Amino acid sequence: MNEKANILIVDDEEVVRLSHLRTLASAQCKAEVAWNGDEALRVMEQHPYDVILLDLRMPGLDGMTVLQTIKERWPECQVVIITGYPSIETAKEAVRLGAQNYLAKPVSPDEVIKATNDAMMQKKWGLQKDRTGHA
């Protein structure tokens, strides 16, 4: 990535948060973590992120609720769902709510980097389109 992406990793499993953090640090990204949906929204209030890697099943607010709130309040933010409980229904709902991608755990470091790069490209394309009024 040529410019540092600001990424928020939202997952209630510490091993997952640390793994994604390590992976993204090696890809020259600035990443931070939140352990649940409530914390993710609080952090977004302080400093909106470019990309969010979001788990679906967490204590408190579930991932779908967080996704919906993020897309309503920060529509330019790109959200990648990474779940250990994938299903066609949740994948379709996530896309309907505005998720940029949907991955099933376990994900490799390469998959995390590719999903993050793709999300950043989508964000840049969206911002470019907004500025010019067309693609």
Q: Is residue 120 part of a domain?
A: yes
- Residues β-bridged to residue 104: 83
Examine residue 112 and state whether it is found in any structural domain, yes or no. yes
Residue 69 inside a domain? The answer is: yes
CATH number for the domain including 98?
Answer: 3.40.50.2300
Q: Which two tokens stand for residue 62?
A: 């579930």
Question: What is the DSSP code (8-state) at residue 122?
Answer: H
Phi-psi region of 129 (alpha: psi -120 to 50; beta: other; left: phi over 0): alpha
Backbone phi, psi, residue 50, to 5°: -75, -45
| pLDDT, one tens digit for every residue, the chain (135 residues) | 446 789 999 999 999 999 999 999 988 889 999 999 999 999 999 999 999 999 999 999 999 999 999 999 999 999 999 999 999 999 999 999 999 999 999 999 999 999 999 999 998 887 666 555 554
Q: How far apart are CA 94 and CA 20, in angstroms?
A: 21
- The verdict on residue 91 lying in a domain is yes
Count structural domains, the chain.
Answer: 1
49 is a domain residue: yes
Instruction: Provide the whole-model pTM.
Output: 0.91
Classify residue 115: in a domain, yes or no. yes
* Residue 1 counted as domain residue: no
Q: Does some domain include residue 56?
A: yes
Q: Which domain holds residue 70?
A: 6-132
Q: Name the residue type at position 28.
A: Q
